[in-house]
Structure 1
Amino acid sequence: MSAAEETPRGGTLAAREPRIRDEHGRRISMWELALRYSLLLAVLALTVGPFLWQLSTSLKGPHENIFSSPPSFLPSDPTLHNYQRVSETIPVWDYALNSLTVATANVVTNCVGSALAGYALARLRYTGRRAATLVFVLAMLVPAESIIIAQFTAMRDLGLNNTLVGVLLPACVAAMNVLLMRNAFLNVPYEIEEAAFVDGANVWQRFLRIALPSVKGTLAVVAIFAFMGAWDDFLWPLIVLSDPSKFTLTIGLNYLHGTFANDERLVAAGTMIAVAPLMAVFALLQRSFFRGVGEGAVKG
């Protein structure tokens, strides 16, 4: 029987052969598929592996050797005592509240400011619009470390040193977020707004009722980026804050390294406390995040 000979059910052997196709419909071989999954597993190990190791270390008891050879990944006697010790060593929940305050305010200011600026760059017609867009692009190219002294001087002159407002202000509207919102608004069909304009809608009504609901995914991307940037920031809060009662979580956890430099369990527990809110935010917004990544990826 040939490869193309019909089977009793009317099909052919060639049609019954397994066909593996990629997302573009192109046929791929088994070895290429295996290579792809091998690379994915390698990337997964590099990205998720350190997190899982820190989680494992934070659950190990004081009598368990964390530097054994070969290393033991699973704790033999899991315990949450290290997390209790973190709260007893530093006021971790006060630091977390300060970080949450700054991060929440950063999300609000970035979502509102970048949405307004992005809509103005994408839809409004005025002199200097291209130049304004270029300014935001160039702002992304300036290293934050090169202007940090100027930022500190500005905060000092404004009387905002050693305040949470001083921590928030420099990053309250990020240039990258503005450009993300601009591209998202550019992908909204302009004919819809033209129809609303003919019906008598003003610019604020078109922005709030038509444009903004169409870019909810990109707003979620901006919210996640803003929250992560404010929550993880270490250098700027370290420079602008001097009162321990106003420290953010990243600065407060640094005391665990200095006071208990040999106790990696305590440091790992503090790291898990710092990572947990980021995971919660991403879990809540992940659907909107992946939808929003593509909203601003077509037009430039």
Structure 2
Amino acid sequence: MSQVTDQGVGSRVAEQKVAKPRRIRKTKMSSTNEVQRLHGWKLARRYVTLVIVLIVLVGPIIGPLMGAFKAPSESVFGPTATMLPQDWSLAAFHKLFADTNILVYIRNSLFVCALNVASALVFSTTGGYMLSRKGWRGRKLVMAFLMSALIFPFESIMLSLYSEVRAMGFYDHLIGVWLPGMVGPFHLFLMMAAFRGIPDEIEDAAFIDGAGEWKRFWKVMLPQTKGSLVIVGLTAFIFAWQDYLWPLLNIQSDENNTVMLGIARLQSDFGTDYRVVLAGAIVALLPILIVYFSSQKYFFKGIEEGGLKF
């Protein structure tokens, strides 16, 4: 009897030992499902929030821009106007390119943007590299000077720049539009932070291998800052493309107008036909969208490179 009892107790203990892992496994599976469910709800809330922000930011822009695609018989604004065109038409774009010098304006803006991007890349990389090096006299003074350039707004020095550009003979010339935007303190600080973010061991290894200052800069340091270079080029392009105040002060003739000046003057030439003005706004917006979305991957990489070690 004792043997039978011992066998029965042993079998029950064995069953309990076997049953325990099953309960633990079920608990683990339920907790995993709960975590996945919570993660799914958080992801859904995140996307809903992003969609709402997108509608709030882009909605007021998309509505008016749709007026450029409306037929001449439709109302762009007013109580009878609709958000989306009822009869899609490209007549406004045809009139824009046929009756205005929009292609000349685009060419002028692209010329200024090319100069701005090239000069910003050259001066910001060389200047940022010099500022990231330690141990040379006057570095703090130069840093303070650049910081003061960030403090004062452009409007406070605009008249002085105007007098200097006019004295140099570049009034009503595209070179005069480019000169104040050759390089900005933001680009210098961005590249300085990008160079400072490179580990010292990389430069030390190049120095031990016999690489000179120029070779270390061109072959070792500069390839490590590709993301920041994209940010410099992208922001220089956008600043030059959308600049309106300085070209308005410096440009007088129609053949030297930039895109923003040309679109502003469309309102006086086609004041009653808002479709042409909105078509010009779309033409001005497209290059920025193309440049941004084509370099979006490198844009965020550059933010990570240069934005953490100012």
Partner of 1:179 in structure 2?
Answer: 189
Partner of 2:84 in structure 1?
Answer: 74
Moved more, 289-298 or 260-269: 260-269
1:129-278 residue pairs with structure 2 within 5 A?
Answer: 129-278=139-288
Partner of 2:16 in structure 1?
Answer: none
Could you give the per-residue CA deviations for residues 1-48 of structure 1, whole angstroms, max 9, x where no partner exists? xxxx98799432632433269xxxxx7795x76664444233211222
Distance 2:98 2:269 in 1: 13
Partner of 1:24 in structure 2?
Answer: none
Distance 2:73 2:165 in 1: 48
Bigger CA radius of gyration: 2
Give the AA of the match of 1:183.
Answer: A
Q: CA RMSD in A?
A: 2.3
Confirm or deny: 8 A CA contact 2:64 2:83 kept in the other structure. no
Partner of 1:47 in structure 2?
Answer: 57
Give the AA of the match of 2:267.
Answer: H
Could you give the per-residue CA deviations for residues 164-196 of structure 1, whole angstroms, max 9, x where no partner exists? 111000110111011000001110111111111
Number of equivalenced pairs = 290
1:26-41 residue pairs with structure 2 within 5 A?
Answer: 30=41, 36-41=46-51
Once the two structures are TM-superposed, the CA of residue 234 in structure 1 deviates from its matched residue by 0.5
Q: 1:101 aligns with which of 92, 95, 111?
A: 111
Confirm or deny: 8 A CA contact 1:54 1:272 kept in the other structure. no
Distance 1:245 1:7 in 2: 82
Partner of 2:295 in structure 1?
Answer: 285
1:17 aligns with 2:17: no
Once the two structures are TM-superposed, the CA of residue 228 in structure 1 deviates from its matched residue by 0.4
Partner of 1:64 in structure 2?
Answer: 74
Give the AA of the match of 1:47.
Answer: L
1:297 aligns with 2:294: no
Once the two structures are TM-superposed, the CA of residue 96 in structure 1 deviates from its matched residue by 0.5
Could you give the per-residue CA deviations for residues 196-233 of structure 1, whole angstroms, max 9, x where no partner exists? 11111111111101111000000000111000000000
Distance 1:29 1:76 in 2: 39
Give the AA of the match of 2:35.
Answer: R
Moved more, 148-157 or 9-18: 9-18
Once the two structures are TM-superposed, the CA of residue 49 in structure 1 deviates from its matched residue by 1.6
Give the AA of the match of 2:26.
Answer: G
Could you give the per-residue CA deviations for residues 117-175 of structure 1, whole angstroms, max 9, x where no partner exists? 00000025310112212221221111100100000000011111111111000110111
Residues 137 and 244 (structure 1 numbering): CA distance in 2 closer, same or farther, change over 3 Å?
same
Q: TM-score of the superposition, structure 2-length normalised?
A: 0.87
Give the AA of the match of 2:167.
Answer: D
Distance 1:184 1:284 in 2: 22
Moved over 6 A (4+): 5-9
| Overall identity of the aligned pairs, in % | 34
Distance 1:20 1:113 in 2: 50
Distance 2:60 2:162 in 1: 34
Gaps of 5+ in 2: 1-19
Give the AA of the match of 1:18.
Answer: E
1:119 aligns with 2:126: no
Residues 245 and 200 (structure 1 numbering): CA distance in 2 closer, same or farther, change over 3 Å?
same
Gaps of 5+ in 1: 22-26
Give the AA of the match of 1:14.
Answer: S
Moved more, 92-101 or 66-75: 66-75
- What secondary structure is seen at the aligned counterpart in 2 of 1:19? helix
